[in-house]
């Protein structure tokens, strides 16, 4: 199950990189920085939901606990990639990386992390793979 969850996360990572490129090249120049980030974040969250919906049966969680484990794994991998690769590979300063977490400044990036955390449980429950939420 963990190997499959990791494979799905790699697909999500690829989608996130493409989403970021589209945001920088197309959305921000046309919509402005704040609106471009908003649209990009909502779009990525939706993509994560769709990918999870279509792959959760393949991941094969056997229990609700497994679905929560997948969600935590995805969030941990995303945070590790964002901060470690962002800082050490791409040279972004820590302050710039942390800026996306300032909800009071209109940054809603944590919505992506929340989506990653809950999507496995919600999708598995809706698809009848584990007991639905009650």
> Residue 87: inside a domain, yes or no?
yes
Among 34-38, 51-55, 85-89, the minimum mean pLDDT is found in 85-89
User: Considering the domain boundaries, does residue 131 fall inside one?
Assistant: no
What pLDDT, on a 0 to 100 scale, did the predictor assign at position 35? 93
**Domain span including residue 120:** 2-126
In a domain, 133, yes or no: no
Q: Is 100 within a domain?
A: yes
* CB-based contact 67:126 (threshold 8 Å): no
How do residues 40-72 score in pLDDT, each as one tens digit? 999 999 999 999 999 999 999 999 999 999 999
Distance CA 64, CA 57 (A): 13
- For the chain, how many residues are written? 134
pTM higher than the cut 0.75: yes
| 20 is a domain residue | yes
Count of domains for the chain = 1
User: Which of 47, 36, 40 has the alpha carbon at shortest distance from 14?
Assistant: 47
Q: How many helices (H) and strands (E) does the chain have?
A: 6, 0
Domain assignment present for residue 132? The answer is: no
Contacts of 82 (CB under 8 A, 6+ apart): 97
């Amino acid at each position: 199950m963990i190997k499959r969850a990791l494979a799905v996360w790699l697909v999500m990572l690829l989608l996130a990189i493409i989403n970021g490129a589209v945001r920088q090249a197309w959305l921000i120049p046309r919509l402005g920085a704040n609106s471009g980030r908003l649209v990009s974040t909502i779009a990525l969250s939706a993509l994560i939901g769709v990918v999870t919906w279509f792959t959760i049966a393949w991941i094969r969680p056997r229990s609700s606990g497994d679905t929560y484990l997948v969600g935590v794994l995805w969030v941990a991998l995303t945070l590790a990639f964002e901060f470690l690769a962002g800082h050490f590979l791409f040279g972004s300063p820590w302050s710039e990386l942390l800026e996306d977490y300032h909800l009071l400044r209109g940054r809603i990036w944590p919505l992506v992390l929340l989506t990653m955390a809950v999507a496995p449980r919600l999708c598995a429950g809706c698809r009848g793979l584990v007991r639905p939420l009650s």
